[in-house]
Amino acid sequence: MRVFPPYPSGEKPTITPNQPLVVVSVIARKGGVGKSTVTINLATEAIKNGLKAGVLDLDPQATAETWADEREKSANVDSSQPVVRGSKPSRFEMAIAEADHSGYDILFIDTPANSTHAATDIVKHSDYILIPTTPGSFDIEAIKQTMRLANEQEKPAAVVLNKCRHNAPIQTRNAAKKITKDHHFPIAGEVICNRKAFDDANEKGLGVQEYAPRSKAAEEIAGLYNWLMIDLGLEAEHHAVLSA
């Protein structure tokens, strides 16, 4: 079994000194809405910002693990980070404990679609739940169940609007309105658009900030990461805010 290796001591201090591991799970009932893409990019952004970040892949499709395998072949990136480990949903508690003992600051958990049973348990062991959705009405409808799980367990959660059309701001605004005003769900302070850089970076085992550092995609991920740090109470700076 592959484990989370300990971070060596004496590294530069992180922004969360001596704090317990923060677990952020990315959960959505719907397939293909961007769970793995959001997980991978937030983890690489966390590394870029000096955090000790890991990824736990609970999806039997092993998308994040496959991404990490590609990353090993990529030149010019530190492929040893983020550490990506796979686990069966039944054993994930052990992997979380391992990451905690090994000195990680933050662990992003990528989950399979339709993981209703497992999702209850994953939510229980998470500090924060991100729920990606596209602006499509069927996808937005499907976030209800995951949000209910988070609410039942009084876990902070937010919807991440992903794959928005950058040239269709009205569609994005209407989707945001539906989420916040009709469903009364919190929404992340940054919208992610449908951009080729995401797909290209995924294929190469990179985060968009590594693949195309000056791209809009990289800007959006930085915005989402900054917003998440603030919502987790870990950082005071805030850049991009969605004006829904």
Please report, as ranges, the residues that interact with Mg ion according to CB under 5 A: 35-36, 63
Query: Which one of residues 42, 45, 195, 215 is an interface residue with ligand ATP (CB under 6 A)?
Result: 195
Task: Judge residue 13's burial from the number of C-beta atoms within 10 Å of its C-beta, 0-12 exposed, 13-18 middle, 19 or more buried.
Answer: exposed
Q: Does 81 bind ligand ATP (CB under 6 A)?
A: no
- Of the two residues 25 and 162, which places its CB atom closer to ligand ATP in the complex? 162
Report the C-alpha gap between 227 and 139 in whole angstroms.
23
Question: C-beta of 75: minimal distance to ligand ATP in Å?
Answer: 21
Q: Does 211 bind ligand ATP (CB under 6 A)?
A: no
- Of the two residues 33 and 222, which places its CB atom closer to ligand ATP in the complex? 33
Report the C-alpha gap between 25 and 111 in whole angstroms.
8
At 108, give phi and psi (nearest 5°): -100, 130
- Of the two residues 55 and 95, which places its CB atom closer to Mg ion in the complex? 55
The strand pairing partners of 157, in sequence order, are 129
Under 8 Å between Cβ of 119 and 149: yes
Q: Does 133 bind ligand ATP (CB under 6 A)?
A: no
A 10 A CB-CB count for 113 gives: 16
- Of the two residues 113 and 240, which places its CB atom closer to ligand ATP in the complex? 113
DSSP assignment, residue 179? I
Report the C-alpha gap between 32 and 139 in whole angstroms.
10
Question: C-beta of 6: minimal distance to ligand ATP in Å?
Answer: 29
115-123, 174-182, 188-196, 234-242 -> range binding ligand ATP (CB under 6 A): 188-196
The footprint of ligand ATP (CB under 6 A) covers: 31-37, 59, 61, 63, 113, 162-163, 192, 194-195, 198-199, 202
